[in-house]
Amino acid sequence: MDYLEGLNPQQRGAAEQINGPVMIIAGAGSGKTRVITYRVAHLIHTGVDAFNILVLTFTNKAAKEMRERITKVVGPEAKNIWMGTFHSVFAKILRVEGTKIGYPSNFTIYDTDDSKSVLRAVLKEMNLDDKLYSPNYVYNRISAAKNNLVSWAEYQQNEQIQSDDHANGRGHLGKVYEMYATRCFRSGAMDFDDLLFQTNRLLKEHTDVLYKYQNKFKYLMVDEYQDTNFSQYLIVKKLAAINENICVVGDDAQSIYAFRGANIQNILNFEKDYPDLKVFKLEQNYRSTQNIVNVANSIISNNKEQLKKNVFSEKDHGDKIKVNRAFSDNEEGKTVAEAIMQERSTNGQKWNDFAILYRTNAQSRSMEEALRKLNIPYKIYGGLSFYQRKEIKDLIAYFRLTFNPNDEEALKRVINYPRRGIGDTTVDRIILSAGQNNITLWEVIVEPGKYLDGRSASSVGVFSTMIQSFMVVTKTLSAYDAALHIAQHSGLLKDLYEDKSVEGLNRYENIQELLNGIKEFSEREDIEERSLDVFMQDVALLTNDDNDKNPNADTVSLMTIHSSKGLEFPHVFVVGLEENLFPSQMSLNSRTDLEEERRLFYVAVTRAENKLTISYATSRFKFGTLINCEPSRFLDEIDAQYLELDFKAKPQTGNPFFDDERKAWSRNADTFSKPKAATAPPAGKPVKTTSLLAKAHVPSPGFAPSDTSGLQVGMEVEHERFGFGKVINLEGNKPDIKATIFFKEIGQKQLLLKFAKLRIVS
């Protein structure tokens, strides 16, 4: 029991409660991973077989860290625990059980690019407008349907869904979904959403499989439970139904992934599923100073939907949270860069002690420019992953095709790369022949003389022979040797080597790095299977959070707040605290959405260990137009006693922000001299300074929003809050058309029509 000695009373209570339903509400920085680690170790020490424990996480990184910690406590038995992301664990089960629902054990896992490629082919085949049916929109629509366990057949039969699609001019979406699902199934492929959708289907249609895994997984633990969607919730509930030894760990205050289907109600209503639930609250924050914790508490207290907890810190109070006001986004970047430079030179900190967090990727521009001017090294996280680079995807497509020749996306990607005389016309003939004969593309390719003519048949025959030879060598060679053989004999390595440009050299080095990674994988002793197809599955199941998070790189970190979840830094800058940016404009029409934005701000604040700086700009360029910005309502929610303002403010009552800003906006330019950009907007695009004390517009008697489907440039409109204006531009497609309107009282605004509630005057 010595391993439990280092836990505080709440942590220890959670670790020792191993039977029955348990919910651990883990505040930011409260030692959540430590508790999960010791709880699993305690299960094993009390006699539970490691094979009977299932631990589900949201990143491979989290699973790896937990397994390493558990191994230090219980030894090598930790490798027998079923531990991993939802997708990796259920992909493993589907490899074994998937034949029961018609999938081969060697099914391919499609990433987002593969899925969108299939969709583009379907849309082209159906002759649909790719602007109205953009691959991104269609992919997201299908993904949402699968996460809510709606099959293509149910999608087509649902009257409400069909009505909505027809109203949006997308009445063919159900058929697109059907063809996409059929195409993936024919290719022996599942996309990410299928891994959960098909697991639910498997457990529903085959009770013997459900019973098997209910009895196998006697103890379940789910990390980050607040991020689960309906599909994940249902799988977990089914698996825990017999033993009910289920422990979920999470923090409702950090639920920020609704756009990915996460449902905060899963954690808020967990007690309804398990009335005998035991709840443990981890409220001591070991990460941040008390001032930072106080700010976070004051922010999240404004949410109505939450599980109440009193997070505290026993660290020093620390510095007050500094709030900077800049007159433009460029000045905001300059202020942040100078603060980092001064802090580093004064206190001797490393560059990687600093992180800059923002709401949208577009905000990185002004930060990057300012950092470059001061020669401060930085790295943007969330960019192109190593495994998304073209040359890497090309070689992996060869691997995929070797193990699953029915993988049409992999086949189309490499059939003529490097060039081997198989042009688009030949590929079209292969696709046409497959369709006419109701067979796969591979079946056409292995008998080219039967379906193609002359030279085309010869070139295709050479390609199919090469792939078949790869199938043979992978059965006898190690993962590394097989990968090297394919890279060499496909011609890919030679093609990249002969490109002597800087880009060509980088691509060649990337392939070498991939091969190095496979070499390291093939020599690992902590896993049982080290074949090339297992390596490919690991790559396919990498999450965004597993990429590009190297805390040892001595660079300032720039990232969106969503990307920062799970990380921590000594000094954090949260920038862009302005209305319509943070909270975002899209969130202002719904309390639920606004509360998620507030949770996002809570996450940003709690990334900071010792120092936190918040900033906002009073003007910012948006879509090429300079707009005036109001400070975010979230600033008004922070208790003023924890703040240090960089501008003169005389707090009246409550928080000083809006009081002081109202005065600032109404003072003359002599008091607050704005930069030239703010007083000299681009020609034809005037900006009118808005006084926050300006009299609110009084809507016309009987004001009622009009149907704006026929809105045109030049029309006069009235907005309930902004008053009268003229439409000067329309952009985008239904239902996401944006209107740029010049209002007489406040200047130019860009509004999303479906939410704008405009009355057409003339």
Residues assigned a catalytic role: 32-33, 223-224, 254, 607
Task: Report whether 479 contacts 532 (CB < 8 A).
Answer: yes
- Cα within 13 Å of Cα(748), Cβ side: 20
- Strands of 556-560's sheet in order across: 378-380, 556-560, 354-358, 569-574, 608-617, 321-326, 643-645
Distance CA 71, CA 80 (A): 10
Structure token digits, residue 126: 């159906």
Amino acid at 749: K
410 has binding-site annotation: no
DSSP 8-state symbol, 353: G
Task: Report whether 189 contacts 407 (CB < 8 A).
Answer: yes
Structure token digits, residue 489: 């004999």
Distance CA 477, CA 531 (A): 9
Nearest to 759 by CA among 715, 729, 713: 715
DSSP 8-state symbol, 712: -
Task: Report whether 569 contacts 530 (CB < 8 A).
Answer: no
- Cα within 13 Å of Cα(681), Cβ side: 18
Structure token digits, residue 25: 């509400």
Task: Report whether 569 contacts 560 (CB < 8 A).
Answer: no
Helix/strand/coil percent split, the chain, to 5 = 50, 15, 35
Distance CA 258, CA 273 (A): 21
Residue 343 DSSP SS3: helix
- Strands of 278-282's sheet in order across: 82-85, 53-57, 219-222, 246-250, 22-26, 278-282
27 has binding-site annotation: yes
Query: What is the C-alpha end-to-end distance of the chain, expressed in Å?
Result: 78
Task: Report whether 351 contacts 555 (CB < 8 A).
Answer: yes
Alpha-carbon distance values, 148 to 79, 181, 196, 200 (Å): 33, 16, 10, 11
Residue 105 DSSP SS3: coil
Distance CA 256, CA 599 (A): 6
261 has binding-site annotation: no
Distance CA 169, CA 163 (A): 10
Nearest to 625 by CA among 750, 755, 753: 750
User: Going along 27-170, which residue ranges are E strands?
Assistant: 53-57, 82-85, 108-110
26 has binding-site annotation: yes
Nearest to 714 by CA among 662, 658, 761: 761
174 has binding-site annotation: no
29 has binding-site annotation: yes
Residue 338 DSSP SS3: helix
Cα 259 from chain centroid (whole Å)? 9
DSSP 8-state symbol, 326: E
Distance CA 216, CA 195 (A): 20
504 has binding-site annotation: no
Nearest to 568 by CA among 578, 576, 559, 577: 559
Helix axes 390-403, 454-473, angle to 10 degrees: 80
Task: Report whether 83 contacts 63 (CB < 8 A).
Answer: yes
Q: Binding site membership for ATP: which residues?
A: 26-33
